[in-house]
Structures are given as C-alpha cells and as structure tokens.
Amino acid sequence: VQKSILNQNQRSFAHALTGAKVLVAGCKGQIGLPLVHALCKEVGRENVVAADISDKKADLPCKFEQLDVADFGRYEKIVKDHKITYIVHLAAILSALGERFPDRANSVNVTGFLNAINLARDNKCKIYCPSSIAVFGGEHFPKVNTPDDVILQPETIYGVTKVFNEMLGNYYHKKFGVDFRAIRYPGVISSEKYEFNGTTDYSTQIFFEALEKGHYKCFLGPKSDLPMIYIDDCIQGTIDFLKADSTKLKRRTYNMAGISFNPEQLAASLQKLLPNFEIQYEPDFRQKIADAWPKSIDDSNAQKDWGWSYNVTVDDLAQKIFDGIDEQYK
Ligand code: NAD
Ligand code: AKB
C-alpha cells in the first residue's frame, strides 16, 4: 500500500523535467549562465551539461563541453555521450550583432538550430529554443498588445532566423512528434555585465554606465517603448515552461510580455536611485530595429496554458536591477 501511495505522489509531482538529462547549448551568455544554475537546482548538477563555443572562464556548477552548434558531429557526440533527453538550445547571434555579421547569424541560428532539432528528433529529446520579439516586424501587425498569431515580417536577419526556428519547430512537432517549445522573450535585463549584442541592451548598460560614469549616451531615442523583463523572472518563467505538461500546451510558441517602458521612463526611475544621473540620446542603427518591434505584448495564452504571470512597475524593476548589481560598482 505504502509503495502505491509513493508512486501516486511521485506521479503527481512529475513534470517534463523529471528525470531529465539536460544539455544547455550556448551556456555562457546573459541567459545561459543563470539558467544553468537554475537547472542544476531543479534536476541536480550531475544531470546538467553546459556547452558553448566560447572558452572564456565562467562560473558553471556542472560539466562543460566546448561546442560549436554548427558542428553536427560534435553536437551529436555530446548528446549521445551524456544520454541527453532535453536540449535547451540557446546559442544565437542577437539582433545588433546579426546585422553586422549576417553569415554568422545564419550559421549559428539556422544551421545550429537545424542540428539541434534533428538531434532532438533522432534521439527522442525534448527541445527548448527561445524565440524573441524580433520575429515581429512590417506594417501588418498591431504594435500595442501584439498577440501570438499575427503576420510575421521581421526586418533583421536575427528575426528572420527566429521565425525559421519557430516554423521548423512547429513542423517537427506535427510531423515527427518532437516536443519542441519556445518562448518569445522580450528584452531581458540583468544586474550583471555581458556582451551587449542586442537592441534592448540599453536597459542593462544604462545601470553600469550610471554607476561608473554618472551619465549614459543612449543608442535608442527617449520614446522607444519596448517590452522587457528582469532576468530572475525570465529564468523562473523558463523553468516553469520547461516543466509544463506537453499535453496542456495548446501551441508550441508563446509570447511573454514582461513590462513595457521607454528609455526616458527607465532613466526617470534610475534618477530616483542616483539623483545626479544624466542621460543623452544618440540613436544609431539600432533605432530602426527597435521601431519595427512591438511596444507591448499580449501573453494571455501563456497565462492560460502554463500559468505565466508578471506584474511589476518600472520603479520596482529599476530597484530590483540596482539591488542585484555587485557592490564593487556602487
Ligand atoms: P548571448 O549573446 O548573451 O549568449 C549567447 C551564447 O551563445 C554565448 O555564450 C555565445 O558564446 C554562445 N554561442 C554563440 N555562437 C555559438 C556557437 N556557434 N556554438 C555554441 N555557442 C555559441 O545571448 P542570450 O541573451 O543569452 O540569449 C540566449 C537565447 O535567448 C538566444 O537564443 C536569444 O535569441 C534568446 N533571446 C534573448 C533575449 C535577451 O534579451 N537576452 C531576448 C529574446 C530572445
Ligand atoms: C535583442 O535585442 O536582440 C534581444 C532580443 C529582444 O531578442 N535582446
């Protein structure tokens, strides 16, 4: 009797990450590092393998493998050697870097993802690959409260590759039954420095320059409204989504809204924490990228299907970012 109660309990707590052996490809970036830590807590560090093309030192609590995701043979060896069952494919060239190096964006974001999803199909792995608000663009979608299903006409190579990832993931799900999942992240803000290769990265950079120099030259104009989220909340949402019961997911790709604000509003919140802080605006090529993206997002499907919710003010967010920044900068 006791055994059957135990089995019942285990069943009721089982979720899509239960018993998983997870590979995080692209583990040394803004999202990869905190996600690896969160996954180690969730499934145990012996069940997580972190991989990246970069050999730079990083605080990783689990095994590390060097990997260029465009190299199928190496990717396959890692999946097989570690008996991976869940691929978290993060490696990508983001929007601003991609406009400078489109061939690299194609190699990493297209070839890399093709390798990952073929490995998921052939080795019966689940696969998560984040998408982005960069899939939106063009004239034919509402920029306020953008829903999941609109005409996608991205205007960056990054956005084009993310649409390809979403479409291919959906196709592999229908055709081969691959458990593909994607969240379209808004801009993610951290309390750590990282390589600022995106268009939304002003929102993290501004804090470090405010603390180090007292002023910031913003590469987007003051009224550039964009959806954003704090890294801890993004990671918690991602873990919840990775765990979600596949049969409850009514779609494979979900919008995630976060909170929408513009540089002027973020600067005003920052000035409450650092009264002498000053901001100037010198929009560059990233302005055009930001102008094509939604100002705010409708994520009601994520709320309904897997329980996502988010509710913060810009002042709360600024305080959270500030509190998370290491004392050495203050
Ligand atoms: P990042 O640029 O900070 O990190 C990317 C990581 O991928 C780096 O560690 C890099 O070394 C690695 N990488 C690059 N090329 C590689 C290759 N060929 N093989 C293996 N690794 C390689 O990016 P991030 O912000 O951590 O983004 C992670 C994922 O989340 C990406 O898919 C990105 O599109 C998505 N996303 C991020 C944001 C955001 O605001 N950070 C928003 C939307 C979507
Ligand atoms: C970028 O700005 O490129 C990323 C993203 C929104 O995908 N932060």
Over residues 12-66, the pLDDT tens digits come to: 578 999 999 999 999 999 999 999 999 999 999 999 999 999 999 999 999 999 9
Name the residue at shortest CA distance from atom 29 of ligand 1.
Answer: 90
Dihedral pair phi/psi, residue 241, rounded to 5°: -70, -40
- Per-residue pLDDT, 311: 87
Ligand nearest to the CA of 188: 1
Distances, alpha carbon 228 to alpha carbons 11, 153, 275, in Å: 36, 21, 23
- Residues of the chain above pLDDT 90, percent: 95
Residue with tokens 């990997």: 67
Q: Residue 9: pLDDT above 70?
A: no
pLDDT over 90 at 5, yes or no: no
Distance 69 CA to ligand 2 centre (A): 20
| Ligand of minimum distance to the alpha carbon of 66 | 1
> How far is 231 from 223, CA to CA, in rounded Å?
23
pTM, to two decimals:
0.96
pLDDT at 14: 87
Cα three-residue angle 85-90-96, rounded to 5 degrees: 170
Task: Give the tens place of pLDDT for each residue, 227-278.
Answer: 999 999 999 999 999 999 999 999 999 999 999 999 999 999 999 999 999 9
Q: How confident is the model at residue 84 (pLDDT cuts 50, 70, 90)?
A: very high
Ligand 1 mean position, distance from CA 27 (Å):
8
User: How far is it, in rounded angstroms, from Cα 299 to Cα 308?
Assistant: 8
281 tagged catalytic: no
What is the per-residue pLDDT for 158? 98
Check if 98 has its Cβ closer than 6 Å to any atom of ligand 1.
Answer: no
Q: Are 257 and 133 in contact (CB under 8 A)?
A: no
ipTM metric:
0.99
Say what the pLDDT of residue 12 is: 56
Ligand 2 pocket mutation, candidates 97, 132, 197, criterion most atoms within 8 A of CB? 132
Q: For atom 6 of ligand 2, which residue has the closest CA?
A: 187
Question: Is 261 strand, coil or helix?
Answer: strand
Ligand 2 proximity of 132 Cβ (cutoff 6 Å): yes
User: What is the pLDDT, as a whole number, of residue 294?
Assistant: 98
Closest by CA to 125, choosing from 71, 181, 171, is 181
**Whole-number percent of the chain with pLDDT over 70:** 96
* Sign of the alpha-carbon dihedral angle for 32, 38, 39, 45: positive
